[in-house]
Chain A
Amino acid sequence: MENRQMEEVWITGIGLVSSLGEGCEDHWRSMGNGGSCEPVVDAETFAPYAVHPLGEVDFSSQVPKRGDLRQMGPWQRLGTYTAGLALSDAGVAGDPAYLNKMDMIIAADGGERDIEVDIAVLEGIGRRNDPEVFLNEALSTQLRPTLFLAQLPNLMAGNISIVHKVCGSSRTFMGEEMAGVSAAQIAVKKIRHGQSELCLIGGAYNAERDDMQFAFELGHYLWPGEFEPLWERRKKGGGIVNGSVGAFLVLESKSHATARGARAYAQLSEVLADRCDRAPGAAARNAREQFDALGASLEPGPLAVLSGACGAEPVTGEERAFLEGLSDKGFDVSARAVSSMLGHSVEAQFLSGLALAAIAASKKQLFGPVAGSDFEKPYDGCPDRILVTSWGHWRGEGMALVETLAA
């Protein structure tokens, strides 16, 4: 085992859905072409909180059975739909020879609650002197039986198996942003060591949810003001603007991809994850160690970074300082905050960063800076290596290296 030649991990399929559209070309047009990116923001629906809303999506094109769509909430629909895009993009959709052996690791949150029922229960329960009995009655009669299945984290993977027939294995990782990092990390390790040769990884986030906004606001994490690009929010204390995003990737061993003649976007060279207690400077210390671990293979010079910074402080400021500090090692950083463009998508955050990095690597050009940023600067030439980061809003630090493939 130890002496075995390590397999390279290639990205051979991308599914990406966000406020900017669907698929690689939509995102490239909205964010690339050397121009700057104008995010799509809905400031009205959840005011005072802005969100990057999902655009028009024809779910039936990837989930043809109406019965399947009815069983899911918006979050599962988005993930199942985006998974289908990635499988089609990789050229394995509908082919049992590939799907039967394909491994799957999903980064998941829970699905939507029925907030109408929640509010009705809360309104009714205060009027009763037997609140527990009222809760029993109300939930027993008002919850739809299948709602539970739309809420279970692992049922996004379950729906992907049912709709798209991915059946080699099915695992669901949880834990907010780090679920996405770990999904990518474990998939890379398995492929590199021959424990898998074809793996679907992905996650989705529905930002247009009162229940999730409520949970974030327990911790005072959301940005309640007029929309500003991510790096600029710290002047007013920082904050998260969520975005609805589905992000899926097909990862594949080089030998498997080559054998089936697959087109590849890029190589996913490394994924690292660590944690700390978030004492001041601790997250940056982890990131420096991760960078040093990657750095052995990195020549100083221009460095494109797709940052998963969420916008909350102090963690976003600490990451910015870490990136600026890379100049001490001779790296000239051109950063792009994925959350400025797509919004923060928690479990899907890191995976959307990987997808965008793969798109940029295959286009041999980095996306433009977001409009109105004093930190993001143009990047000339081909970004032959792209650093992707994701620091959790509460815990966890992840980093990946995406590299262009030799022509």
Chain B
Amino acid sequence: MTGNLRDKKGRPVIVVTGFGIVTSLGRGMADNWAALTAGRSGIHPITRFSTEGLSTKIAGTIDGLEIGDISAPGLAKAFATASIAEAISQSGIGSSGSFPGPLFLATPPAEVEWPLRRQIYECARNGSPVSNAQMKRAAREGAYQDQHALFLFGQVGEYLADKFGTLGQPISLSTACASGGTAIQLGVEAIRRGETDAALCVGTDGSVHTESLIRFSLLSALSTRNDPPKKASRPFAKDRDGFVMAEGSAALVLESYDAAKARGAKILGVLRGCGERADDFHRTRSTPDGTPIIGAIRNALDDAGVEPRQIDYINAHGTSTPENDKIEYISLANVFGEHLAGTPISSNKSIVGHTLTAAGAVEAAFSLMTIATGTIPPTINYDTPDPEMPLDVVPNEKRDSSVEIVLSNSFGFGGQNVCLVLSAEPA
């Protein structure tokens, strides 16, 4: 045995030894961090499909990947493959095709998509309308076995487990827009239980397609400020009008501090604590007084053993919807009290857009970069402050500041709330 480092609760200290990322800002952390800190938006007009007649015509898609037929699970796989490869390479853990721990994967739900549905419909039709029973028969008579597997929920995880040689059954999960945070939390818990020294925690999302865009539009969740696209996402601003869908993936290699030290790995930061709490108020809205989010933040701080005043920076969920940003402010004001005014808080989503299933992982990786570099990325498009939420949102320009401990928030439809506390390597 080398070290035996435990946290205040007697549990193994958990560190991050690798991260990888792909978003509309670029591939790899170097490009992403340069764009993020420069406030260079990745939001642009959608070209993947026609947006004629739609109220929202912009997104943070990742284009130009050579993956053959575009499908949401195909993109989710491609993005995750890129982010995991970067994270493992940086970490130097395991050997090629052999990662010594389990995979926890935040991945979007998959469904048979319109091109395939049309193809089968055309096969089934013989000049006359087709019933659902005829669609099933056409499916059975055709050669679509690969398509069956492509649209299984477990398929992305199975593919990644094969490719990177993770141990055991991968866990695919969804807690909506908090999913990336939940994937990390599952990894933290597994290492704390002592069942593994390492875990691969990943969020990925490639769901910008016609139907998903329309579904979010019908819920009035999306910004319709199409021109110019880069000005659409404006978290915490008074004139915010919705989020902007985006694609991406981030992967984190988690290890026990002892195992990382024993193999001489470079430590990028510490996963100090996680907290969660479910909301019972409404399917898409939070309890107006913020009680569940307050509970999730307090649980995370308690799990990490830190006080609100010790938090140097908050990486906000900050979606740019009127509802989210308001409740996030109310909740933070409750927990932080007078300390909130002096605590910088910024939203990566102002620049990246909302990477949905991946967001929690993407923002955890960016939080670690803030700790490592002492640079806080800005909240862009903050031209009209909302007087109801007096916050230091690091408006429009990055800021250099020593940051030791970060709180990163993720909230999702269905009452999902997950908060992470990340910090610098223990001295």
Q: Which residues of A come within 8 Å of B, CB atoms? A: 1-2, 46-47, 49, 71, 104, 108-110, 113, 115, 118-119, 122-123, 125-126, 130-133, 135-137, 139-140, 143-149, 151-155, 157-159, 161-162, 165-176, 178-179, 181-182, 186, 189-190, 193, 195, 210-211, 213-222, 224, 273-275, 277, 392, 394-396, 398
Report the separation of the CA atoms of residues A104 and B10 in the bound assembly, to the nearest whole angstrom. Answer: 26
- Write the nearest CB–CB distance from B326 to chain A, whole angstroms: 20
Q: Which residues of B come within 8 Å of A, CB atoms? A: 10-12, 49-54, 107, 109, 111-112, 114, 117-118, 121-122, 125, 129-133, 135-137, 139-140, 142, 144-145, 147-149, 151-154, 157-158, 161-162, 168-176, 182, 186, 189-190, 192-195, 210-211, 214-219, 276-284, 292, 412-416
Contact B135 A174 (CB under 8 A): no
What is the chain B residue whose CB lies nearest that of A176?
Answer: B154
Contact A162 B131 (CB under 8 A): no
Report the separation of the CA atoms of residues A46 and B132 in the bound assembly, to the nearest whole angstrom. Answer: 10
Q: B412 contacts which of A143, A145, A154, A396 (Cβ < 8 Å)?
A: A154
- Residues in B whose Cβ lies below 8 Å from that of A171: 173, 175, 182, 186
Contact A221 B148 (CB under 8 A): yes
- Residues in B whose Cβ lies below 8 Å from that of A146: 219, 283
Report the separation of the CA atoms of residues A213 and B138 in the bound assembly, to the nearest whole angstrom. Answer: 12
Contact B132 A119 (CB under 8 A): yes
Report the separation of the CA atoms of residues A175 and B161 in the bound assembly, to the nearest whole angstrom. Answer: 13
Among B121, B130, B170, B174, the one with the most A-chain Cβ atoms within 10 Å of its Cβ is B174
- Write the nearest CB–CB distance from B221 to chain A, whole angstroms: 10
Contact B140 A162 (CB under 8 A): no
- Residues in B whose Cβ lies below 8 Å from that of A170: 175, 276, 278, 414-416
What is the chain A residue whose CB lies nearest that of B162?
Answer: A277
Contact B413 A182 (CB under 8 A): no
- Given A162-B282, A195-B189, A218-B112, the answer on whether A173 and B173 have CB atoms closer than 8 Å is yes
Report the separation of the CA atoms of residues A213 and B186 in the bound assembly, to the nearest whole angstrom. Answer: 32
Q: A175 contacts which of B49, B51, B153 (Cβ < 8 Å)?
A: B153
Report the separation of the CA atoms of residues A158 and B173 in the bound assembly, to the nearest whole angstrom. Answer: 14
What is the chain B residue whose CB lies nearest that of A168?
Answer: B278
Q: B416 contacts which of A154, A221, A398 (Cβ < 8 Å)?
A: A154
- Write the nearest CB–CB distance from A141 to chain B, whole angstroms: 10
Report the separation of the CA atoms of residues A166 and B280 in the bound assembly, to the nearest whole angstrom. Answer: 8
- Given A217-B140, A220-B140, the answer on whether A143 and B215 have CB atoms closer than 8 Å is yes
Q: A219 contacts which of B149, B193, B195, B415 (Cβ < 8 Å)?
A: B149
What is the chain A residue whose CB lies nearest that of B106?
Answer: A174
Report the separation of the CA atoms of residues A49 and B51 in the bound assembly, to the nearest whole angstrom. Answer: 39
Q: A394 contacts which of B54, B152, B214 (Cβ < 8 Å)?
A: B152
5 nearest A-B residue pairs (beta carbon): A158-B414, A175-B154, A219-B148, A132-B50, A170-B278
Contact B278 A110 (CB under 8 A): no
Report the separation of the CA atoms of residues A394 and B147 in the bound assembly, to the nearest whole angstrom. Answer: 13
Report the separation of the CA atoms of residues A355 and B97 in the bound assembly, to the nearest whole angstrom. Answer: 38
Contact A122 B278 (CB under 8 A): no
Contact A215 B112 (CB under 8 A): yes
